[in-house]
Amino acid sequence: MSSSFRKASEPTEVLGVAYRFTASNAGPMTLQGTNTYVVGREQAYIVDPGPDDDRHLSSLVDWVNTTHRTVSAILLTHGHPDHALGAMHLAQLLHAPIRAADSAPYPLYVATNHATLQPDAVFGVENGLLRVVATPGHTPDSVSYFLDPPGIIFTGDTILGQGSTLVAPPEGDMTAYVASLDVLRRMHPRCIAPGHGPIVNDADGKIREYIEHRQQREAELLGALTEVPSSIPSLVARLYADTPLELQELAAGSVHAGLQKLECEGQVRHEGEVWYPVEFRQ
Ligand SMILES: [Zn+2]
């Protein structure tokens, strides 16, 4: 017997209560593609609809319908287009409202059914609570969602399944980002469901790795400036010599964010383009 049913893409299950779909927008910044999560077995929430891609959104809707779920709201981790652009379309398909921390920089998402997420908002899912956790740094509006039990943290771009997150001005703020990593560390989640890349089962280890990576980058920056005061392009040339040229612009943003953090802490200063350690004597 042949079947004319379209083969729906099957999601990856996360601790029996969340289901990951990956959009087909793979790339250097999106890894294998944006992860969209359906959270909950009957009354469900969707975390990050992803890009406005018909195939991705219709396979999500098909799966939600065939598994008899009702979607209570579409939640955004932040407003970047690879996470949020499909929100309005999906909201129409599912007749569900959109919730985001602060849509001010992204007027596109201010739909009639959009509401600002309160920083302490909590949603009931199965026998657990899905709690909003402000984790600014990658962008000012970045939030994570913590489902406990069983202890899943949905981190958007704050922590990825592989590699490190881009933190670069004007949106990125390294001081806020490092503080957000510390907030996540103290929550001791069981696993991380990132916006890109695989599910992370060693959550404590991954958060520690992220914190140590930033500490190491900061020490390298201070070390380089102590040797010789430098501009951002010359710091990038020295510290990111092995980085492909097309990614060096991103590296410059990351260096800039690191310098701004050190400046806030009174460790470095700059005159024009050139950055110095505060203690530097010529
Ligand atoms: Zn992002």
DSSP codes, 244-263 = -HHHHHHHHHHHHHHHHHHH
Write out the two tokens for 120: 């302490």
Q: From ligand 1's centre to the CA of 174, what distance in Å?
A: 14
Q: From ligand 1's centre to the CA of 10, what distance in Å?
A: 25
Q: From ligand 1's centre to the CA of 76, what distance in Å?
A: 11
Say what the pLDDT of residue 3 is. 39
Say what the pLDDT of residue 113 is. 55
Q: Sheet of 98-100: strands edge to edge?
A: 12-14, 18-22, 35-39, 43-47, 70-75, 98-100, 114-116
Enumerate the domain spans of the chain: 12-201, 216-277
Contacts of 247 (CB under 8 A, 6+ apart): 28, 240
Radius of gyration of the chain (CA): 20
Q: What is the CATH number of domain 12-201?
A: 3.60.15.10
Interatomic CA distance for residues 28 and 7, integer angstroms: 28
Q: Is beta strand 152-156 parallel, antiparallel or unpaired with respect to 191-194?
A: parallel
Q: From ligand 1's centre to the CA of 167, what distance in Å?
A: 9
Q: Does domain 216-277 have CATH number 1.20.1090.10?
A: no
Q: DSSP class of residue 281?
A: -
Helix locations, 69-156, DSSP H: 81-84, 87-94
Q: From ligand 1's centre to the CA of 196, what distance in Å?
A: 10
Write out the two tokens for 149: 């039990």
Say what the pLDDT of residue 105 is. 54
Q: How many helices (H) and strands (E) does the chain have?
A: 7, 14
Q: What is the DSSP string of 151-216?
A: TEEEEETSS-SSS-----TTT--HHHHHHHHHHHHHH--SEEEESBS--BS-HHHHHHHHHHHHHH
Question: Could you tell me if 218 and 277 are in contact, meaning their C-beta atoms sit under 8 angstroms apart?
Answer: no
Say what the pLDDT of residue 258 is. 97
In tens digits, the chain (282 residues) has pLDDT values of 333 344 456 899 999 999 999 999 888 788 899 999 999 999 999 999 999 999 999 999 999 999 999 999 999 999 899 999 999 899 999 999 888 886 545 545 555 556 778 777 899 998 899 999 999 999 998 999 999 999 999 999 999 999 999 999 999 999 999 999 999 999 999 999 999 999 999 999 999 999 999 999 999 999 999 999 999 999 999 999 888 888 888 899 999 999 999 999 999 999 999 999 998 766
Q: Do domains 12-201 and 216-277 have the same CATH topology?
A: no
Say what the pLDDT of residue 126 is. 85
Q: From ligand 1's centre to the CA of 46, what distance in Å?
A: 17
Say what the pLDDT of residue 219 is. 97
